[in-house]
Amino acid sequence: MVNTATKRDVIVDGLRRLIVSGELERGSRLPQDELAKRFNSSITPVREALRVLEAEGLVVSAPHRGTRVAGIDLDRVKATYIVRRLTESYAMRRAATRFSLRDIKRAQELLLKIEDAAAAGNELRVRQANRDFHFYFYDRSGIPGLSDHLALLWASFPWDLVIGAPDRAEASRKEHHAILEAVRAGDPDRAAAAVETHIAHGFLPIARRISGEDVLDPFDPDTD
């Protein structure tokens, strides 16, 4: 029998994927009884899962209104972007000094999976392959807890607003290759800079879609 904590984690992971992929639209209601049926669960782990997701900012609850998928809070997205950029560049700098020739070959294979999924027009496969590619590096930073922290940041990032966007697909492909080539060259600073560029170029279109106008890069300390 699956224990409550494990069932809660399954529901948390499942709902995260549905929200981030856009399958559960922002603002849509999340009735606990319907979620319990969907995940073949009792109400208790559903309630616990919603509390976890609320802490992550993915859902919101209010008296007499129930729980809904959270809308987009630009300030929160900015904060997540800044922490991602700082942390992922550091993880990449460490990983770049630990990669073997076999690791580079595997990273190249993961890169091809992203491109194959994009060519097939499969956005869910693109998103998963994109995550696999990045975390193949982060998991080799030598600090397991760092990768776990990044996984939480990725889980709360609004990927549904950028994955599959035609104006980002080709640019993202080139940025991925720049990351891999920097690691292949054994240049950790270049690899870290390539990751920062990639994250910034992914954030700015999201910020533009949320605000309806161009947004200055909040990573710049002179930007309010």
Q: What is the CATH number of the domain that holds 27?
A: 1.10.10.10
My answer on whether 124 and 14 are in the same domain is: no
Q: How far apart are CA 51 and CA 60, in angstroms?
A: 9
Name residue, tokens 């807890």.
145
Flag whether pLDDT at 167 surpasses 80. Answer: no
Looking at this protein, which amino acid is placed at residue 53? L
Structure tokens at 55: 């802490």
Q: What is the DSSP letter of 29?
A: B
Structure tokens at 110: 């993961």
Q: Tell me the per-residue pLDDT of 60-119, one tens digit each, with 9 for 90 and over.
A: 888 878 899 988 888 989 999 999 999 999 999 999 999 999 999 999 999 999 999 988
**Nearest Cα to 130, choosing from 187, 188, 161, 173?**
173
Q: How far apart are CA 158 and CA 170, in angstroms?
A: 20
My answer on whether 137 and 98 are in the same domain is: yes
User: How many distinct structural domains can be found in the chain?
Assistant: 2
Domain end (from 34, 52, 69): 69
Query: What residues contact residue 96 under an 8 Å CB cut-off, 6+ apart?
Result: 137, 182, 183, 186, 187, 188, 191, 192
pTM score above 0.95: no
My answer on whether 93 and 190 are in the same domain is: yes
Q: Is residue 110 part of a domain?
A: yes
Q: How far apart are CA 100 and CA 125, in angstroms?
A: 26
Please report, rounded to a whole number, the percentage of residues in the chain having pLDDT higher than 90.
58
Name residue, tokens 């309630």.
47
Residue range of the domain that includes 147: 74-211
